[in-house]
Structure 1
């Protein structure tokens, strides 16, 4: 793994090791994948403005969120069915995140139970779920997460219907599966992956076993039926009344929704377009981030995911007012390339790149970076008055921790 010098290197290794159907599942996005591509490209429209002759003997990459001090402002975003990439994949990711001083946000659709993942490593963890049609399942999952020691509950709100991902459809990676002969032969050629998969128990959705379904296909179809397109703000307010810890809303792309979320009582707003895996042609998350930060107005932390591939991308998000960032595909590529060691390498790369960016820019800590330290290109639809004098990040984010 030490010979992987960038996130792109790990992606290439994962692509060589994994069957196409698996790689496309973690790498792909909805429809024409325009949003997923723009998430990455948008960072090129933001330039860092370094300061010279500022000593930076030690660059502090640490951040505090919900009273936990993290070694770096990079968290693991929730992804389902991770066990198909590496045996007991969620446990490997949890150990790597804990060792890196980060936080893993565990998906309700994980291939290990939330309880097993919680016990697999020390360190804080958050649990992600939806507000399901069956409100009893919704409350039961939240209660289990609290009992297992999860610090925060992350409620995803941007999936009123399943996304349409052409790569998965072409590969037959559907529920129920309809794998092609080509996909089957490709799996057979990936001997390393196949051997590892054969050594682990069957992959399923254990968090939902016991709710009337047991088999993988049954649970998959049942989960699709749990998606509730009628969820409203009052439903989030209802869940707020039943969860005593920090509540995070994931999937906010409009400033008006950020304001409504705060009125409902959330403790953090997560700017996310689901990595472009749901609605294609949405704007990049970093494009809307400044508007969300302005709407939140320091009342709660703002977190962002989507397109982060370098430590400098992280720094740009912080300069725009985010408290911290999340990564999805990068850690899945690392997992696919080398299991826990690959995920550890992802954190090492991003932390090293972030620290070097701070040093080159003359910033001793991430709290010193502000809007004054970035140049915005004309192609970007920034808010009116955005180039005016801005406060430091520390003041911008003086809301609840």
Structure 2
């Protein structure tokens, strides 16, 4: 799969900009703040229906403008997919596929698989469990539409149950029958989500370890573990056992929305004991594993976005990354960098065609 062209109107710092891309490697180079990452984010936005860097949709509209339009032509399995994503202030975002608007934006997820590697990925290590769950859910959702719909339904029921718990507290009342209805719905949607996460990680962890071994030269031992109370108990039992706690807290304290991933290097948390280079290598290995996992399930090669990937890495690790992408397993790659010379030297070592866009 590849992106042939991209047109931006009022997207972030771009007033109007058109790009025609190479089928293999495309590099955005220039000073900080010039829009390199914004160009990558526009590609991400077209593929997944949202910004990778700013979840507030209207903040992606250029200052003093009323709307943005992102327009791109993809080629997938010998057919063209024309995707237009637009947003007007005060209105809902619209995504059109071949001139037909989606009724639900979530239906677009998975059509155009994509993986991004960015400095902001460090949030996966330093932030809370919500960030790591989103990563896991995002990978699974790109290849499993049923999973995404179950997740949407689970979160809706969770919100309703939390509202009910607050109602109980404010009105000093309790209705076990109504609460049990929400419990059953959480079990209905949550149990398959848990089972799919377990199956996903069984397949994903070996790929991740293999990728890290290549990047690090095989000198470091890393681990990735799933932490969930559902491993030792079913969800209904957990909900019933924790009802007094939930009433006191006024929210649902157990369930798949509390699951986490633990990241370790030589059996210690990488957040505390990993160097900057080790943490970056860990994150790149995670994303390369995501790439290979999605590629196998989707039966198409995802687009790969590398945002400032070569910063804070020593030459040896950069060389290992170049070796990874310099083979037939990868399709179209987009790179951003502040150093044009470094970028050119890097892509010359990858034996593929390329274009450099100086912004």
Pair in the same fold by TM > 0.5: no
TM-score (norm 1): 0.24
TM-score (norm 2): 0.26
